[in-house]
Structure 1
Amino acid sequence: MTPLRQKMIHWMERKNYSASTIKCYVTAVSVMARHFGRCPSKLSESDVADYLHYVTTSKSYSSSSLNGIYSGIKLFWENILERLWNVRRLPRPKRAKVLPEILSVEEVRSLIEATNNQKHKSILRMLYSTGLRMGELVKLKPSDIDSHRMVVRVQQGKGKKDRYTILTQAMLAQLRDYWRGYRPLVYLFEGRTPGQAISGRTVQQVFKKCMKKAGIRRQVGVHVLRHCFATHLLDAGVDTLTIKSMMGHVNLSTTARYIHVQNKRLEKVPDLLSQW
């Protein structure tokens, strides 16, 4: 490991950045350095501007990925190299406003019912009924399930924040059936090795397999269940502040985007052609 890379990692660790963010930012700087074939400390502001233009116009990166690349390089430039970051010459790429893909209630039901495996069914139901991120689900421990208060405790979720989300009676019954059959040692959902958490890759594979078996041809990943959680609760009349709290959103505007995909709102719009 080079001294610069080590310095960057140590700086972010002292700032309590998550492991995934550290990996993302270090990779962003490393890929830029390989692009030029030079140590990143030898690059000029013009080099960085050219590289940001390249990744922005290459069409190979999502809006979220571009944001991570920009943030990683900016952090390295300002805090590791201690150089001035000129926002006018190095502007952040504008993020595309993309509405989340949503499955209907019927599609979610058929997806979950596509498997008879109690562990897999419990995982899919948990993601849908609690709004957990996949990374939060795989870190859950049995002690995070509070059956007295009927909540699930999410420890150190995105942004290193703790929060609580809902635990329904139906989900609690499902978890008890699962517990009697599997008896996990450390994590609520473990992989083939006892005591080790199930991997996110395995969860994605379970989701894709159930999607195929249910005959749902949407090009979505397991994160869609979190989107469905928010949208279906809005359709059921739950207020956005409650949903924001359960999902762990920092800004209400993040939660409010689900309003735009509500079926109930669109159903109330009159048919203009029927008035002719």
Structure 2
Amino acid sequence: MKLDPRLARRMIQDMTLSGLSPKTQASYLNAVNRLINHYQKFPKRLSSEDLRRYFVRLMESKEVVHSTLAVYRAGIRFFVERTLGKSWPALDLFRFRRPRKLPDILTVQEVKTILDAVRVKRNQLCLKIIYACGLRLSEAVSLTINDIDGARHLLKVCGGKGRKDRYVPIPEALIEELRDYWRTYRPTSFLFFGVHKCKRIRRATIQKTFKLVLQEVGITKKVSVHTLRHSYATHLLDGGVGIRTIQEILGHSSLTTTAIYAHLSEKTKSMALPVVDNLMNSL
């Protein structure tokens, strides 16, 4: 059982007007549909006790992580308050705080080892730009040739998290690699294209490459492509770059999000890592 198509369309319209990204819209709609499917009746027929039991069951069954529970609550709240124009005070009773875990980071040498082991130049450069510019994977695969300002050593990152554009510095060494890449592969639209030049490379392709290389070089840390971004931020902090500057480069809306790297940096002070240009020169 799912949300009535008419209400679903209205909810999507409301979310679009609120500026929510397609990914967030899909998550919110899924949250409402899961609730409806669980009870086999529409939200307006559910009581506060129904809602309480639903979230208790999810927490006890450990079907979803805390961050997903928070998304479910936000999606249901949006539907009730914005689309239905009603209130559901019971939603205020739930607080889903994610256990704070510091992510693993890679040393500069580990980053170098990983990148050197990538045989496909396109995939290698994509991973390298994620690290050297602190990008999210989704941002890297969406880059176009027009996003590179070689003269000013800047990279325009369009439609980041929260649909916010930003500029990030590109190290000189990476500028030269990008020029060589362009001369060899001649991308016409997306910088990292897939089978067809008019289409971007799939995120899964880069994720698979990263995973295979980890196995090949024997790195057993629990890391992913996103770890390159974490590592970049931590290395910058160790190199003396201010946390507010790092916040702007990463595109974090809150300094609290960036502050986690201060904890990681305390664990890696002894590495005495250089700042971004020196980082790239060592790769």
For normalisation by structure 1, the TM-score amounts to: 0.91
Question: Which piece of structure 1 moves more, 176-185 or 163-172?
Answer: 176-185
Aligned match of 1:58: 61
Aligned match of 2:195: 192
Aligned match of 1:236: 239
How far apart are residue 108 of structure 1 and its match? 1.0
CA gap of 1:91–1:17, structure 2 versus 1, over 3 A, is same
| Correspondence 1:180 to 2:180 | no
Quick one: which amino acid aligns to residue 241 of structure 1? Answer: R
Aligned length: 268
Question: Which piece of structure 1 moves more, 59-68 or 123-132?
Answer: 59-68
Partner-residue secondary structure (3-state), 2:87: coil
| Correspondence 1:9 to 2:36 | no
- Do the aligned partners of 1:67 and 1:95 also contact (CA within 8 Å) in 2? no
Question: Which piece of structure 1 moves more, 174-183 or 123-132?
Answer: 174-183
- Do the aligned partners of 1:56 and 1:93 also contact (CA within 8 Å) in 2? no
Partners of 1:88 and 1:247 lie apart in 2 by: 32
- Do the aligned partners of 1:70 and 1:92 also contact (CA within 8 Å) in 2? no
Offset from partner CA, 1:15-70 (integer Å, 9 cap, x none): 12111111111111111211222233432222222212222232232232222112
Partners of 2:65 and 2:113 lie apart in 1 by: 30
Partners of 1:122 and 1:267 lie apart in 2 by: 25
How far apart are residue 137 of structure 1 and its match? 1.1
For normalisation by structure 2, the TM-score amounts to: 0.89
| Correspondence 1:166 to 2:169 | yes
Aligned match of 2:132: 129
CA gap of 1:89–1:127, structure 2 versus 1, over 3 A, is closer
Identity of aligned residues (%): 37
Query: Which of 132, 137, 145 is residue 148 of structure 2 equivalent to?
Result: 145
Query: Superposition RMSD on alpha carbons, in Å?
Result: 1.9
Structure 1 unaligned residues grouped into runs of 5+: 269-276
Partner-residue secondary structure (3-state), 1:113: helix
| Correspondence 1:23 to 2:8 | no
How far apart are residue 171 of structure 1 and its match? 1.1
Partners of 1:238 and 1:187 lie apart in 2 by: 31
Structure 2 unaligned residues grouped into runs of 5+: 273-283
Moved over 6 A (4+): none
Aligned match of 2:276: none
- Do the aligned partners of 1:100 and 1:258 also contact (CA within 8 Å) in 2? no
CA gap of 1:163–1:83, structure 2 versus 1, over 3 A, is same
- Do the aligned partners of 2:104 and 2:222 also contact (CA within 8 Å) in 1? no
CA gap of 1:254–1:3, structure 2 versus 1, over 3 A, is same
